[in-house]
Chain A
C-alpha cells in the first residue's frame, strides 16, 4: 500500500509538471502582456515593469523561475493587484470555492444515491418514473441556465432566498442547488441502473434466504456493490463541479477563486494564472487519487498494487 502511494505520488508530480509546462506554453502563446492594455505606458516604464517581473528574460529562464516558485510554493505577487500575492488570493478565494464545491459534492452524492436507490426499489412504479424524469432534466439543463432560473424564481419573484453573495448558509442554497443538480442526476441514474442489476444477483437472493431484513439487504449487501460505477465517475464529476464553481461564482457574485481565475486570464496576470492552475490541478489530482483509494476499500477484489494481488 505504501509503495503504491509512493508510486502514485511520483506520477502525480510528473502530471503536475506536464500541466505546468502546458499552461506556461499556452499562456505565453496568447498575444499580449499584462502591460499592453488600452492605456499605453511609455516604453521606458514598460521595460522597467517587465524587468521587475522578469518578463524580459528569455522564455526558458522565465520557465525555470516559474518552476522554482512552484517548488517553494511562493507564486509571487499578482501583476494586476500589486497589493496581493498569489498566495493571498488563493488564501482568500479558495476556502469559499472549496466550501461551495464541497457542499455541492456532498449534496449531489447523498441525494443522487438516495434518489437512485428509491427509483431502483420502486422499479417501474410512479416514483421511479418521477425520479428518472428529474434526473433527465438535471442532466440536460446546464447549470448556468438553472442558476439564472433559480434566481428569477426564488430571489426575484418569490423573494424568499438571496440572489447573490456569500455571507450566510441561506446564501448557499441557490448556488449549491445549481451546481449539484447535474452531478446528482448522473449519480442517480447510475445508482439506479447498477442497483437494479445488483438486486437480481444470487447473493441478494441468498441474503433474503438468510432471512435478513430488507434494510440490511439494501444497505449492506446491495449498495456497496452498486456504488462501484458511481465511484468510477466521481473523479470526472469532481472536475465538473470544480469548473462549475468558476461559472456559478460569477453568476452569484461569490468571492471565490473563479473570479480571480477568469480575470487573471483576461489580464494576462501570469503569476495568478499559473498559481491557480497549479493549485487546482494539484487539488484535482489528489481528489482522483482519493477516489482510487476508495475503490480499493469498496471492492476487495481490486488490489492497488501487483504484489498484493498475487
Chain B
C-alpha cells in the first residue's frame, strides 16, 4: 500500500522563560492509505505536539519545528508556506479535537460551521454545500439533519457535538484525519458509539487516521498499528497484536500492565513508578532509564538504536541488543 505520510526525525521545541522545551525529539513514523495508526503515551509525552506539527498548528513563536521532515504525498509540509498550508488544512488533512463542548463556535449555527470549510476551499453553491452537509450529517448519524443544521451548538449533546465535529472534519473528503483524543471527553457508552463511527467512516471513505490517545482500550478497538511515545520519542512501534501481546519495551509493558482489568482479581492498580524526565534538559540516553526495572549502565549514557523484531515491529531498547540477552522476565508482568 502506498504511504501517504512519512514523518522523519521530527524535532519540535518551545521557547519558554525557563529555557527551551524539547517536546518532540526525533520522531519517525509513516502511515499508509486507509490505515489507522494510534499514538499512545502519557500526558506531556509529545503526542499532541506531533499531531499539531503535521497540521502546522504549533503556535509559532514560541513553538518551532527545529528539524526533520513531514512528507505528505511527496510534499514536505515543513517547507510549505502558510498560505499553501491553508489549502492543505481541512482539504487534505483534517483534525478532530478532544473536547466537542469547546470545539464548536457557540455563536454560529451548525450548518454554517459545517459548510464554511467547503465554501472556503471548493467553488460550490450554497445549495450544493447544504446538500453535502446533509450527507455528512447522515454519515455520522445525526437524526433530522435538516432541522439540526439551523441549530446552535448548545442545543446538541456532547456525543452529538463530537459527531458534528467529525462531519466537519470530513466534509472536504480529506485523505488523512488526525483525531486528538476524540473520545476522552465523552462518557463510556458514547465513546463506543464514536469509535464504531470511526470504523464505519474508514470503511466508506478509505481515510487514513492518526489517533492520539492515552486510552489503550480505544486503541485496542480501532488501531491497526500502534506507536508508543515517551518523553518526545517513539520508543516502540508495531501492529496492534505485536504491541499488545509481544511488546518488548519495558515502558510499553508497564503501560499495558497498568490498565485495570476486570478479569483478574487485583486490589491495587499497578503504576509505573517515577515520573517522566524534564524535557528542558532531556537525558542523553534512554529517557526511561530512571524508571526502568531493567536499567543497565549503558541505558543512561547512550540512546539505543532501533531494533527490528519483525517487519512491522521496532523497539528502541538496549535489552534488544545481543549482549543483553540474559535478563529475567520483568517482575509482575502477566501474559
Contacts and interface: CB of A to CB of B under 8 A. Distances in A.
Q: Do A and B bind each other?
A: yes
Interface string A182-209: 0000000000000000000111011111
Contact of A208 (B87, B89, B168): B89
A298 to B, nearest CB: 7
B105 interface: yes
B88 interface: yes
B169 to A, nearest CB: 8
Contacts of A203: 102-106
Contacts of A201: 102
Interface stretch (A56-64, A169-177, A210-218): A210-218
Contacts of A205: 57, 97, 103
Interface in A193-249: 201-203, 205-213, 216, 220-221, 224-225
Given A205-B57, A206-B97, A301-B152, A213 B104 contact: no
Contacts of A202: 97-99, 102-103
A290 B88 CA distance: 43
Interface string A73-89: 00000000000000000
Contact of B120 (A210, A221, A224): A210
A263 interface: no
B302 to A, nearest CB: 38
A300 B97 CA distance: 23
Contacts of B97: 202, 205-206, 209
Contacts of B105: 203, 206-207, 221, 225
A211 B108 contact: no
Contact of A211 (B90, B98, B99, B165): B90
B89 A211 contact: yes
Contacts of B57: 205, 208-209
Interface string B152-184: 101000000000010011000000000000000
Nearest to B118: A210
Given A205-B97, A206-B165, A211 B103 contact: no
A91 to B, nearest CB: 41
A288 B154 CA distance: 26
A205 B51 CA distance: 13
Interface residues of B, number: 31
B286 to A, nearest CB: 33
A99 interface: no
Contact of B104 (A206, A208, A220, A298): A206
Contacts of A212: 86, 90, 116-117, 120
Interface in B72-112: 85-91, 94-95, 97-99, 102-109
B131 interface: no
Contacts of B129: none
B215 to A, nearest CB: 19
B94 A300 contact: no
B154 A210 contact: no
Contacts of B109: 300
Interface string A292-310: 0000001111000000000
A210 B152 contact: no
A211 B88 contact: yes
Among A201, A210, A220, A221, max chain B CB count under 10 A is at A210
Given A210-B89, A220-B108, A300 B152 contact: yes
Contacts of B98: 202
Interface string B47-68: 0000000010100000000000
Nearest to A201: B102
A72 to B, nearest CB: 44
Given A202-B97, A300-B152, A301-B152, A210 B103 contact: no
A211 B106 contact: no
A211 B87 contact: yes
A211 to B, nearest CB: 4
Nearest to B155: A300
Nearest to A213: B86
Contact of A209 (B95, B99, B102, B107): B95
A225 B98 CA distance: 21
B86 A211 contact: yes
A177 to B, nearest CB: 33
Contacts of A211: 85-91, 117, 120-121
Given A206-B168, A211-B120, A211-B121, A299 B90 contact: no
A192 to B, nearest CB: 18
26 contacts: A201-B102, A202-B97, A202-B102, A203-B103, A206-B97, A206-B165, A208-B89, A209-B97, A210-B116, A210-B120, A211-B86, A211-B89, A211-B90, A211-B121, A212-B116, A212-B117, A216-B116, A216-B120, A221-B105, A221-B108, A224-B107, A224-B108, A225-B105, A298-B107, A300-B106, A300-B109
